[in-house]
Amino acid sequence: MSIKNRAFFLTASKQLEMREIPIPKIGPKEVLVRMGAIGVCGSDVHYYSHGRIGDFVVEYPFILGHECAGTVVETGAEVTKLHVGDRVALEPGISCGTCEMCRTGHYNLCPDVIFLATPPYNGCLMEYIAYPENYAFKLPDNMTLEQGALVEPMAIGVNAVLTGKVKAGDSVLIIGAGCIGLVTMFAAKSSGASTIIVSDIIKLRLDTALKLGASHTVDSRGDIVSEVMKITNGRGVDVVLDCAGFSSTVKLSMQLVRPNGRVVIVGMGEDQLNDIPLGLLSTKEVEITSIFRYKNLYPTTISLIAGGLADINGIVTKRFTFEQTAEAYSSAYENPSETVKNIIIFEKAEEKVGA
C-alpha cells in the first residue's frame, strides 16, 4: 500500500500549513483510521487565533481538530470489535482509567486525560490517525461521516439535557443558539420537551433555531424576561440550559426558571460570575449544575442521530475539502456571527476501503 499522510500544522497565529508526516504505527489495541470528516470547533478557532485557552497554551507547530470520523483501514493484533471498512466516530478524550474520577465513572473529569487538540496534545487534522479501539465508535450504515464528526458537539447537548433531567412535556429555555445551543435544542426535543424557547442576540441564529426545532425564539436584546414569562403563563421554565455562561445569562436563568426548577451551566463565556441573585436562588430552591464535555454518551448520541431525532446536518454552515482547511478556519474566524459549524469533508470519504 503506497499511502502517504498529510497534516495541517498551526505554525503561528492564524497560520495553517500542510505538511507530510509519516503514517502512524498502530499499537495492538489501536486502529488506523482514514479521516473522512472533521468539524471546526469554537475552541479550535480560539487556539487558531489566540494560541491559548486559559492555562492551555499552544506550542507551535500544533495540530488542531477534535471532532472527527473516518474509516478503519487497519486493525491492531488485539483489536476485537472493529474491522477494516468500519466507519467510526472518534471520542477525543482518552482518560487514564485508573484515577478516582475514572474509576467512579466520571472519566471526563480525569486530570490526566489526553484530549485531541488540547495542548500539549495534538489534534486530528490529518489524513490518517492511530486511535485506541475503545474510543472509536462504529457508525450505523445510515449515518454519514459528516454526522459522525458531529457526534462530538452533540454529545455535549445530550449531557446537558440528561443533567438537567429534561423529560416529556417539559418547558426549557436554551440560552445561546451557536453550535452547542442548537445541539442542546435537538437533545431537548428528543427528550420530549414540548416548549423549547431559544434565545440569542443574532437574528440568523434564531432563524436557524426556529427552522431546526425551537417552538419559540426570543431576541435576548429585548425584554426576554417578560417574553419568556408570557410564553410560560407567568410560571417560568422547568429547565434552563445556559449555553452562553455569562454573569448576565446565569442571572437570567435564575429569573426565568420556575420554583424548584433546574439550571444547567453548559457554556463558559466568563471565568468569574458576578451579580448572581442569591435571594432568588434561596427562595426558589433551584438546582444548579455545571457540565464538562460528556461521558459514556457516544453510543446514545449515535443512536439519536441515526434514529432521525436530530437534524444535525442543519447546523453545518459551509463544507470544505481537506486542502481548503486554512480557508475553513479563516472563514469561521472572520465571520463568527454567520458561522455555526464549518466542516472539512475529505475527498472520497464515503468510498469503500480498497476501492
- CB 33, CB 124: distance < 8 Å: no
- For the CB of residue 218, give the shortest distance to Zn ion in the complex, in Å: 26
Between 193 and 241, CB nearer to Zn ion: 241
All residues at 6 or more sequence positions from 241 whose CB lies less than 8 Å from its CB, including other chains = 160, 161, 164, 166, 172, 173, 174, 175, 184, 188, 264, 266
| Beta-bridge partners for 216 | 197
Cell of 117: 487538540
- For the CB of residue 115, give the shortest distance to Zn ion in the complex, in Å: 10
- For the CB of residue 141, give the shortest distance to Zn ion in the complex, in Å: 25
Cell of 340: 455555526
| Beta-bridge partners for 67 | 39
Between 147 and 195, CB nearer to Zn ion: 147
Between 102 and 214, CB nearer to Zn ion: 102
Between 257 and 265, CB nearer to Zn ion: 265
Between 10 and 286, CB nearer to Zn ion: 10
Q: State the residues that interact with Zn ion by CB under 5 A.
A: 41, 95-96, 99, 102, 110
- For the CB of residue 101, give the shortest distance to Zn ion in the complex, in Å: 6
For 57, left (φ over 0), alpha (ψ -120 to 50), or beta? beta
Cell of 118: 488540547
Neighbouring C-alpha atoms within 13 Å toward the C-beta of 354? 6
Between 23 and 109, CB nearer to Zn ion: 109
Residue 260 CB coordination number (10 Å): 10
- For the CB of residue 132, give the shortest distance to Zn ion in the complex, in Å: 14
Q: 3-class secondary structure for 154-179?
A: HHHHHHHHHHCCCCCCCEEEEECCCH
- For the CB of residue 67, give the shortest distance to Zn ion in the complex, in Å: 5
Between 220 and 342, CB nearer to Zn ion: 342
- For the CB of residue 91, give the shortest distance to Zn ion in the complex, in Å: 12
Nearest-angstrom CA–CA distance, 277 and 62: 42
What are the φ and ψ backbone dihedral angles of 316, each rounded to 5 degrees?
A: -75, 125
Between 32 and 37, CB nearer to Zn ion: 37
- CB 44, CB 117: distance < 8 Å: yes
Identify the residue whose cell numbers are 448520541. Answer: 301
- For the CB of residue 245, give the shortest distance to Zn ion in the complex, in Å: 15
